[in-house]
Amino acid sequence: MREAFTVHLKPDENMVAEIQTAKAIVYIEEMNSMADVTFPSVPQVASLLIYDDTSKAKDRTSPIAGYPVICITACNPKYEDFDKTGSICASENINNTLTQYRWLVSAPTGPDGVTSPMKEVDFDTFFTSSKMITLDSIYFQAGSRVQCAARAVNSDGNEGLELMSPIVTISTSEGLCQPRISGVVGAEPFSAKLRYTGPEDPEYANLIKLTVTMPHIDGMLPVISTRELSNFELTLSPDGTRVGNHKCSNLLDYTEVKTHHGFLTDATKNPDVIGETIPYQYSPTIRGFNTLRFYRNLNLEACLWEFVSYYDMSELLTDCGGTIGTDGQVLNLVQSYVTLRVPLYVSYVFHSPVGVGGWQHFDLQSELRLTFVYDTAILWKDGIGSPPEAELQGSLFPTSMRISEEGRLVVNFKTEARFHGLFVMSHPASSLTSMVMSTDHPGLTFSLSLVRSEPTYNLPVQQWSFVSDFAVRDYSGTYTVKLIACTTAPHQEYSLPVICNPREPITFDLDIRFQQVSDPVAAEFSLNTQMFLLSRKTLWLSDGSMGFGQESDVAFSEGDVIYGRVMVDPVQNLGDSFYCSIEKVFLCTGADGYVPKYNPSNTEYGCLADSPSLLYRFKIVDKAQPETQATSFGNVLFNAKLAIDDPEAIPLVKQPGSDGFKVDSTPLFQVSLGREWYVHTIYTVRSKENANRGIGKRSVEHHYHSLLSAGSPGASSQRRHKRGVEQAPELARDIGAEKNRGTNIQHIALDRTSKKQVPQREVALNGVLPRELNNQSTGISIVTIIGGAAAIFLAICLIAIIILLLKWKQNSDKKESTNGSGSNEPMMLPHNYSNDSSEV
């Protein structure tokens, strides 16, 4: 590029200069060209196994599964034609070490030959990055299609053009650790054990060794924790809440471990392995130190993960959720047999563009026991507890699988109707119902339920769940899911109740390999969003264009409904570019006046994690796993609902930059005066293209959704100043716009003047008894004080009136005695005479 300016020439005053040209154009050429640099040729995607000999990439078009792939640009010395492109890269002044990478992945092609669109891998885990030269094997599986995009950068750091590589398909026949049966979803059993090291161990004396061994499958990510696992999009991310919720897990890098030892250490290589068995297996420049520390626990030759950590007793009890139970056998006054029980949750996680949050997980759980003799049984604060071929088409995607506490199989899956209509459980016009059955387990029956459905008839995504009515040891086999298809007219708008025409059921066959596991031998951060607590439903459903003003500062009386709303700041003018979606909602109140704050660097996580500073803590909404929600407090229901689960909240659901929830305020009055409640939400902000991965996709087709009329009164546009800190803590920076995730804490103001009387009786609370409900002494309320003052004031006024009447009577008697008729007889007052001062 060049710039120019014009010089105009005029004669001088004495007319001496001769001017032949009246103007001249001066061009300024650019010394260092800012034109966008570009690679001489498109990049290539190849397996890291053949990085040293890329000529094999032509012979092997499909990279093997289970090992990272690498993006090779034309300016990389490993490029097959680098002898031709290297000189061009040098002349173009391209610095290949500054190249910027991004990756796109799609799900494997379906049996019907339908391919899914390529989607950018826009989420990082705590040990991998999606913006490196390599893409870790957890992001793809056999049959996935992978593509890389490389942007050239010159030596001055100026970014150039981006080139896309050809799409490659991961091999379905070659892999490092292939599953036993190709195409079967599920999880293999794992092995876990506890062992006391004793005082003779030279390095880990008097500690308890926890060892977990589990088989590896290509593309699998093993997750181990002593706390229940849910919402893997948050759990696997670098988010700071991961450190607070899973203190004893393999989700913590060695710098994040709060206990003395952890599953991950600073070692990047297995000491039992000599040399590299696979090319670039231990290369930190290619794979990164965080990745090598995690994969140190994988033995690729045996396809086996082994995680080992050491804990002392106090860590297992306070940090890992362990409990102590007596076996009923006491030796003497100071010694007894006790058993340590540690819960263990293991998940086999796979990347899946159709899973909730982009992950498909299979969850198992167990309990580890260690019996030993302990000298004193009174060291624990809480004491010792007791021991505990169809006409219509559709798609089915399993999203998660687990075994409940009763040993029953719980399977969550999503469906996508490839016709205009949706799947229904039953229909009055049909005698059939949707059902699940298994030929391999003929005696096993199942309960099928529809969890959530998109409010549209245009290829809706629906979330289902079925639970086995009985428990068996091995659930492996083929499961047949029959769903009733219900069609609608092409231009029919969505409405409730659903109006459709039932058709024949569509059958899906789901192969599952799943077995029971036997017992083993906040600083406030708003993410450029706003959170409001409203009392008016019409304002909650409005578009918020007029603001909320003082409506968000109301105090809630007992019986009111609290309407919560999170919305992208309209000042940014993002339009329909981003979707805001609430994932979880927590309620908590602090102990001894503590105000919950989100500050992970100071081990403060607001309402997200258990803490001794919190008196009560409830998770009232969990979008990914609603079965883990708390439903009541003090036998009073929360009645908490997400906007997407409320049929009346469709106007709010259809607003891309907003989401909301509602909850009854009555349970919050179960605690005494002085307790302050706080609501803490976790939400995600995603681009329009990537918001389709979850069940929260909005229907944006104009012709295929229903419109509900709702009042949208505007309020005064007054900016509310929120409580916060000047600078976000270091770990809280992982929650931000670049991570598409944020948290928000709001104080709930309660109006207790109309508080109902709570009966003085014992109230069951899902195992929790509010201490305020058993307190027989009641404090003096404001109403009592005001009533007493009014009574005293009325008494003083009455006494003053009586004194005035007595004085008036005395004066009247004196006048009558001096101005009388002269009779000595007393004058009789009339019978209806009233001595009232108002007659004077």
Give the number of other Cβ atoms within 10 Å of residue 489's Cβ: 12
Chain position carrying tokens 């899956």 = 413
Percent of the chain with pLDDT over 70: 75
- The enclosing H or E element of 295 equals helix 289-295
The residue among 285, 307, 312 whose CA lies nearest residue 296 is 307
What does the block give as tokens for 282? Answer: 């231990």
Contact 615, 607 (CB under 8 A): no
Task: Report the pLDDT averaged over residues 501-529.
Answer: 68
Distances in Å between the Cα of 361 and the Cα atoms of 122, 225, 373, 453 are 19, 14, 39, 21
Compare 70 and 760 and report the one with higher pLDDT: 70
- Let me know how long the chain is: 840
Q: Global pTM?
A: 0.61
| Band (555; pLDDT cuts 50, 70, 90) | confident
What confidence tens digit (pLDDT) does each residue in 182-221 have?
766 667 788 888 888 878 888 888 888 899 999 998 888 9
- Say if CB 651 and CB 708 are below 8 A apart: yes
Contact 589, 614 (CB under 8 A): yes
- Interval 237-261 mean pLDDT: 85
Q: Tell me the C-alpha distance between 586 and 679, whole Å.
A: 6
CA distances for 653 relative to 460, 484, 571, 688, angstroms: 15, 26, 20, 14
Per the prediction, the chain carries an average pLDDT of 77
Task: Categorize the per-residue pLDDT at 824 as very low, low, confident or very high, splitting at 50, 70 and 90.
Answer: very low
2 in helix, strand or coil? strand
- Residue 510 pLDDT level (bands cut at 50, 70, 90): confident
Contacts of 27 (CB under 8 A, 6+ apart): 2, 3, 4
> d(Cα 63, Cα 47) in Å, to the nearest integer?
5
d(CA 645, CA 454): 10
**pLDDT of the residue at 372:** 63
What pLDDT digit, counting tens, does each position of 718-732 carry?
Answer: 333 333 333 433 334
User: Which amino acid belongs to residue 12?
Assistant: D
Q: What is the per-residue pLDDT for 752?
A: 75
Other C-beta atoms lying within 10 Å of the C-beta of residue 27? 8
Residues 141 and 221 sit within 8 Å (Cβ to Cβ): no
Confidence band, pLDDT 50/70/90 cuts, at residue 383: very low
CB distance 517 to 191 below 8 Å: no
Cis before residue 215, ω within 30 degrees of 0? no
Residue 660 has a pLDDT of 93
Pull the structure tokens for residue 241: 């809440």
For residue 781, give the DSSP letter.
Answer: P
Structure confidence at residue 643 as a pLDDT band (50, 70, 90) = very high
For the record, the structure tokens of 427 come out as 């229909």
DSSP classification of residue 49: G
Q: Which residues is 587 bridged to in the sheet?
A: 618, 679
What pLDDT is recorded for position 735? 55
Strand 477-487 and strand 501-513: pairing?
antiparallel
Query: Tell me, what's the pLDDT at 705?
Result: 27
Compute the average pLDDT of residues 605-612: 85
Sequence letter at residue 322: G
Q: Is the pLDDT of residue 436 over 60?
A: yes
| Mean pLDDT value of segment 45-68 | 80
| pLDDT score recorded for residue 826 | 34
Q: Residue 404 CA to chain centroid, in angstroms?
A: 22
d(CA 650, CA 747): 27
Flag whether pLDDT at 117 surpasses 90. Answer: no
pLDDT level of residue 377 (50, 70, 90 thresholds)? very low
Question: Are the C-beta atoms of residues 673 and 752 closer than 8 Å to each other?
Answer: yes
Asked whether residue 88 carries a pLDDT value surpassing 50, the answer given is yes
Q: How far is the C-alpha of 832 from the C-alpha of 818, rounded, in Å?
A: 25
Among the ranges given (10-19, 341-350, 470-479, 622-631), the one the predictor scored with the smallest mean pLDDT: 10-19
Convert the pLDDT of each residue in 725-753 to its tens digit.
Answer: 334 333 344 555 555 567 778 888 888 77
pLDDT value at 713 more than 70? no
Cα–Cα–Cα angle for 264, 269, 275, nearest 5°? Answer: 165
Strands 632-633 and 323-330: unpaired
Instruction: Give the containing element (helix H, strand E) for 174.
Output: none
What letter does residue 197 receive in the DSSP assignment? -
pLDDT at 190: 86
| The Cα angle at residue 260 between residues 256 and 266, in degrees rounded to 5 | 55
Q: What is the mean pLDDT of residues 87-104?
A: 90
Nearest 5°: the CA angle 543, 544, 548 is 150
Q: What pLDDT is recorded for position 1?
A: 63
Handedness of CA 12, 16, 17, 19 (dihedral sign): positive
Nearest to 240 by CA among 739, 838, 751, 835: 739
The pLDDT-based confidence of 790 (bands split at 50, 70, 90) is confident
Q: Which residue has the higher pLDDT, 714 or 439?
A: 439
CA triple 90-130-219, angle to 5 deg:
120
What pLDDT sits at residue 359? 83
Tokens in use for 291? 């990745």
Q: What is the DSSP letter of 764?
A: -
pLDDT of 100 > 90? The answer is yes
Question: By the 8 A CB rule, do 107 and 139 touch?
Answer: no
Secondary-structure breakdown of the chain: helix, strand, coil percentages, each rounded to the nearest 5 = 15, 35, 50
- Classify residue 417 as left (phi > 0), alpha (psi -120 to 50) or beta: beta
Q: 715-748 burial, b if ≥16 CB within 10 A, otherwise e?
A: beeeeeeeeeeeebbebbbbbeeebbbbbbbbeb
DSSP state of 108: P
| Helix (H) or strand (E) run with residue 285 in it | helix 284-287
Share of the chain above pLDDT 90, in %: 15
Token pair, residue 295, equals: 């994969």
The residue-averaged pLDDT of 252-272 equals 83
- Give CA 624 to chain center in angstroms: 8
